[in-house]
Amino acid sequence: MISAENRKKLEKLNNNRVVEIVEMAVDLCKPEKVTVITDSPEDIAYVRQLALKKGEEKKLAIEGHTYHFDGYYDQARDKEHTKYLLAEYEDLGLDINWIERDKGLDEILSYLDGSMEGKEMLVRFFSLGPNNSVFSLPALQITDSAYVAHSEDILYRPGYENFKSLQGSDQFFYFLHSAGRLDEKGNSKDVDKRRIYIDLQENRVLTVNNQYAGNSVGLKKLAFRLAIKKASMEGWLAEHMFITGVHGPDDRVTYFTGAFPSACGKTSTAMIPGQTIVGDDIAYLKIIDGVVRAVNVERGIFGIIQDVNPEDDPVIYKALTTPREMIFSNVLIKDGKPYWLGMGQELPEEGINFSGEWYKGKKGPDGKEVPPAHKNARYTIRISDLENCDPRYDDPEGVPIKGVVYGGRDSDTSVPVAETLSWSHGVFTGACLESETTAATLGKEGERKHNPMANLDFLAIPIGTYIENHLKFGKEAEETPRIFAVNYFLKENGTGRYLNGMLDKKIWMLWMEGRVNGEFAAIKTPIGYIPKYDDLKGLFKEHLDKEYTEEDYEEQFTIRINNYLAKFERMEEIYSDIAGIPEEFMKELKAQKERLIAAREQYKTEEISPFEFADELSA
């Protein structure tokens, strides 16, 4: 089944385990043809051309742009059918989706059996993290989708040569994917048999009967789960975090990582005007010579395109509308041009989208009106194609991290920015991260979802172990990063008016940058260190040309004692029922509540103005 030419490419790796995996996949999936792709430009170009030839992608009017449609019922991550294969149930301290390993393997292997008949199998090699780096994790991808393989060329570094340096080791992740049987549109036909199974025992992911990248591109969130397990065993961190370079005075650049649940400002924080981006989604953090350093696992962005417009997202919008290699998925196409929801211009009333020929008012097979573009429509682009790409985005040594940011959507409690009192208090704060749902996209408005470190969906280890790993990590560094909490969604009581402007996050980040570099004193409060009014006033004037009043400051930074106490009572209820939570974490919880209660008694009020704390300054 494997031609002499392609077998030779495998043999050059001198890795028997790779050959075994490929042969297993060939015997199981029974492809008509097997093509091994190296790092050569010719091989990589072949994949893109194959995606066009098969019709998985089609060209747009702008040079280098293509579009892809997933099936009508294959438009997002399938959480229900994404499961861990476990020999027996493991209590992770939270609800996980799992299936008994032998049973799960029997099921998914039966679906993969013959799934590539009449199709071409692509064998790919990638590096998770920069090439030739202590952060790098080799990854082998086997797929029958040229769209998936092309997406990975944009999102990840080539890794064929890296596999040679393994010297026969089996220490790599691997991913087997098949779109399965295809319908007349070229989409996965048997979506009722869509399965995404994560095998921690074998460091692999098996996925079938899907094309949407969140289910099919194994190197993304599926590999992330494997990396979290590996990081826990080896003493580093794999996190759902952006990495950004914040630019201070005299050309100083300070690097931060940050974790935010969905719809809480993660991407917009990574893309703040005037700052530079290293990564927007997943980071590996290691301590090297006493310094916490981080790399972006990816080299591209698989981003939600809804609401990307020239006013709010000028850098991304420019990249989406100028020539370069990139893929649009599940948008509306009219006369060779892509359209998406919230793009800042009127959309056509007809065109082609994920439902086929589309017209305004069209009903789908489920009886629901089909929108012009899907709300989860995406763009796939290299970070190096963005004007704000940080020069060190591909640095094999990573970038030094001076600050970690946790953000959630909170209408009535958390101040816009605060520095935590210590590393352990910061870990506690991250583990208590909550986010309110929104009526438009996430269900009942105002419902609070607990999402520790914005990583709840991807944890592959017990939550107690995960928190303990964080507590240990910061203490082992000679230069421990400071941890901050942000909230862009605080509202005025009664009116529902947002107290933060859309651009204010730039000021909060610049304050953090100055803070970690010793430029700003701060006010100590029960929940952490908050900015001084005069410092914020100066930053707003200098960077936004905006008058920041004492009234603004007092509204935003008043400590709402009872609301904070209610939050930490929710956390106590959650964590008291979980085995294995570190004692240090529970001490932080107790101390946090005691500080709030003591402040309420001292100031004789439930809401304490930041000016009341003004004499409690910290360097």
29 is known as an active-site residue: no
Q: Which residues contact 132 (CB under 8 A, 6 or more apart)?
A: 162, 396
Q: Which of 401, 417, 544, 365 lies closest to 474 in space, CA to CA?
A: 401
Rounded Cα–Cα distance for residues 250 and 493 (Å): 41
H or E segment at 404? strand 399-407
- H or E segment and range at residue 150: helix 146-155
Q: What is the CA radius of gyration of the chain?
A: 25
Secondary structure of residue 408 in the 3-state scheme: coil
Beta bridge partner(s), residue 126: 139, 158
Q: Are 483 and 471 in contact (CB under 8 A)?
A: no
User: Any residues with CB less than 8 A from the CB of 502 and at least 6 apart, and which?
Assistant: 312
Q: How many CB atoms lie within 10 A of CB 191?
A: 19
CB 462 within 8 Å of CB 502:
no
3-class DSSP assignment, residue 112: helix
Rounded to 5 degrees, what are φ and ψ at 442?
Answer: -120, 10
Instruction: Determine phi and psi for 220, rounding to 5 degrees.
Output: -85, -120
CA distance 273 to 507: 11
Helix (H) or strand (E) holding 471: helix 463-476
Say how far apart CA 395 and CA 393 lie, in whole Å: 6
Please pick, among 29, 264, 389, 432, the residue that the annotation labels catalytic.
264
Residues involved in catalysis: 264
